[in-house]
Amino acid sequence: MRTQVAIIGSGPAGLLLGQLLTNAGIDNIILDRVSKDYILGRVRAGVLEEGMVDMLDRAGAGERMHREGLPHDGFSLAFDGRDHRIDLFGLTGRRVMVYGQTELTHDLMDKREASGGSSVYEATNVTPHDFDGAGPYVTYEKDGVTHRIDCDFIAGCDGYHGVSRKSVPESALRTYERIYPFGWLGILAEVPPVSHELIYANHPRGFALCSMRSHTRSRYYIQCALDEKIEDWSDDRFYDELRRRLPAEHAENMVTGPSFEKSIAPLRSFVAEPMRFGKLFLVGDAAHIVPPTGAKGLNLAASDVYYLFDGLLGYYADKSLAGIDAYSERALKRVWRAVRFSWSMTTMLHRFPDTGEFGQKIQETELDYLVSSKAASTALAENYVGLPY
Ligand code: FAD
Ligand code: DHB
């Protein structure tokens, strides 16, 4: 089999890139090791920057998002028993869109099916070969048969645990990493959100985040220890802990109800450089991970796709290598800005085991400065809505 671009991974990065290529008449195949249903069962991000919204529109998959997504003009920072609104739109003229990663993935899968794009799910042993030479190809197994796809380029969109980054010789890769000493325990419940905007809360008992998927579906998170076990967290215990970390007005107004999803995610910052090795490109989580506090993980996948698609389009339309050659540097510049922002939000809002009451006071002082200075609020808002591509 032969294609122009072999895409490993059918998450948001792979699906978005695949759709833009298909729309531009560039042949591609997407391979994923799990099933469509498994991918759609993962509950992950919920906040889209305008850049991501534009990319979905370009892919022709934005229609339901515009209908069902919730544009948000601001969010709250809660600390010291009070709530402070960050007026994203007033400070930057831009807003974010609350629309779940699950829905966006669904829309991209539907669009791919409608446009006849080829995808192989439950493909095992997917392996990129010879990306340093003239004839790259990918092999995989399906139903006991080994297949080979020859291609011009391989896009490694296979997430942090994928095979693409691991196929690059260690000596060619530089990695940077920080592991945080806590995780997030998250639930999804069919209850109206406690507030019409997101609340990011700093509290001596730990961080909390009140988010949503719709006017009737809430997504709540609390900071937890890394060794916490889901079984020890009944819904009642979760809501009690969440309420203790919120200002009284929100705690009193919270509507509770049974959760239908509950999971713990560790927090990590990670970057692999460069993001290109000959004819193999790393895209999205395959190249970098940010802690979820800044809502940047999914949005970075979109900006990587933007730069890579631009490079591939230049190659196929004009035989130009300039965009492909610039991909890693352009993507990494924006990645590092988001890594810095996510780290700073995480540091400002979470309880760290070793910083004590001094650390808490410093955080509250920083937050107080942030909400009382227009310059500081603007810098926060500018990063949160997303820096330009
Ligand atoms: P992924 O979505 O990980 O997709 C990679 C795809 O590659 C998967 O479908 C996988 O099955 C496939 N794959 C992996 N290995 C192979 C292989 N060997 N062969 C073939 N296919 C393979 N971000 C936020 O902004 N906010 C959040 O609240 C948030 N919560 C998160 C919670 C969790 C548990 C995780 C893991 C991430 C979270 N993120 C969040 C980050 C965000 O979801 C990711 O940044 C986003 O999914 C990145 O998209 P991607 O397409 O690069 O990778
Ligand atoms: C959500 C997750 C985040 O990490 C965040 O910063 C905001 C919202 C969410 O899942 O809704």
Contacts of 350 (CB under 8 A, 6+ apart): 180, 182, 202, 206, 207, 223, 293
Six token digits for residue 386: 């997303």
Catalytic residue among 140, 296, 316, 350: 296
pLDDT digits (tens, 9 = 90+) for 103-142: 999 999 999 999 999 999 999 999 999 999 889 999 999 9
Q: Is residue 147 part of a domain?
A: yes
Answer yes or no: 66 catalytic: no
Picking from 120, 146, 162, the residue whose alpha carbon sits closest to that of residue 31 is 120
Q: In what order do the strands lie in the sheet with 217-224?
A: 82-86, 75-79, 199-201, 208-214, 217-224, 174-189, 259-273, 288-289
Amino acid code (one letter) for 4: Q
Contacts of 277 (CB under 8 A, 6+ apart): 131, 132, 168, 172
Strand partners, 59: none
Q: How confident is residue 329, by pLDDT bands cut at 50, 70 and 90?
A: very high
Q: How confident is residue 26, by pLDDT bands cut at 50, 70 and 90?
A: very high
Residue bearing the CA closest to ligand 1, atom 31 = 44
Q: Residue 161 sits in a domain of what CATH number?
A: 3.50.50.60
Ligand 2 and 47: CB distance under 6 A: yes
pLDDT of amino acid 172: 96
pLDDT digits (tens, 9 = 90+) for 158-211: 999 999 999 999 999 999 999 999 999 999 999 999 999 999 999 999 999 999
pLDDT of amino acid 282: 98
Q: Is residue 274 part of a domain?
A: yes
Q: Is residue 30 part of a domain?
A: yes
pLDDT digits (tens, 9 = 90+) for 248-305: 999 999 999 999 999 999 999 999 999 999 999 999 999 999 999 999 999 999 999 9
Ligand 2 and 46: CB distance under 6 A: yes
Q: Is residue 230 part of a domain?
A: no
CA distance 376 to 332: 25
Q: Is residue 315 part of a domain?
A: yes
Q: Is residue 311 part of a domain?
A: yes
Quick check: bond before 266 cis, omega within 30? no
Strand partners, 79: 82
**Within 10 A of 141 (CB to CB), how many other CB atoms are there?**
14
The distance of Cα 341 from the centroid of its chain, to the nearest Å, equals: 14
Q: Is residue 260 part of a domain?
A: no
What is the mean pLDDT of the segment spanning 83-98? 98
Spatial contact of 7 and 18, defined as CB atoms under 8 Å apart: yes
For 348-366, b/e burial (b = at least 16 CB within 10 A) is bbbbeeeeeeebbeebeeb
Contacts of 370 (CB under 8 A, 6+ apart): 77, 348, 376, 377, 380
CA distance 289 to 267: 9
What is the mean pLDDT of the segment spanning 147-152? 98
pLDDT of amino acid 164: 98
Spatial contact of 306 and 389, defined as CB atoms under 8 Å apart: yes
pLDDT above 90 covers a percentage of the chain that reads 98
pLDDT of amino acid 338: 98
- Number of domain units in the chain: 1
| Nearest ligand to the C-alpha atom of residue 37 | 1
Domain boundaries, position 333: 5-45+100-177+268-346
Q: How confident is residue 97, by pLDDT bands cut at 50, 70 and 90?
A: very high
Ligand 2 and 301: CB distance under 6 A: no
Q: What is the DSSP string of 195-245?
A: SSS-EEE--TT--EEEEEEETTEEEEEEEE-TT--GGG--HHHHHHHHHHT
Q: What are the pocket residues of ligand 1 if the criterion is a CB atom closer than 6 Å to any ligand atom?
A: 8-14, 31-34, 39, 44-45, 101, 126, 157-159, 161-163, 265, 284-285, 292, 295-298, 301
Contacts of 358 (CB under 8 A, 6+ apart): none
Choosing from 19, 29, 35, 44 the residue with most ligand 1 atoms within 8 A of its CB, the one to mutate for a pocket test is: 44
Q: How many CA atoms lie within 13 Å of 148's alpha carbon, on the beta-carbon side?
A: 6
Choosing from 196, 221, 296 the residue with most ligand 2 atoms within 8 A of its CB, the one to mutate for a pocket test is: 221
Q: Is residue 183 part of a domain?
A: no
pLDDT digits (tens, 9 = 90+) for 243-260: 999 999 999 999 999 999
Q: How many CA atoms lie within 13 Å of 246's alpha carbon, on the beta-carbon side?
A: 25
Q: Is 373's pLDDT higher than 90?
A: yes
Q: How confident is residue 43, by pLDDT bands cut at 50, 70 and 90?
A: confident
- Expressed in angstroms and rounded, the spacing between residue 212 Cα and the centre of ligand 2 is 8
Q: How far apart are the first and last CA of the chain?
A: 35
- Expressed in angstroms and rounded, the spacing between residue 46 Cα and the centre of ligand 2 is 5
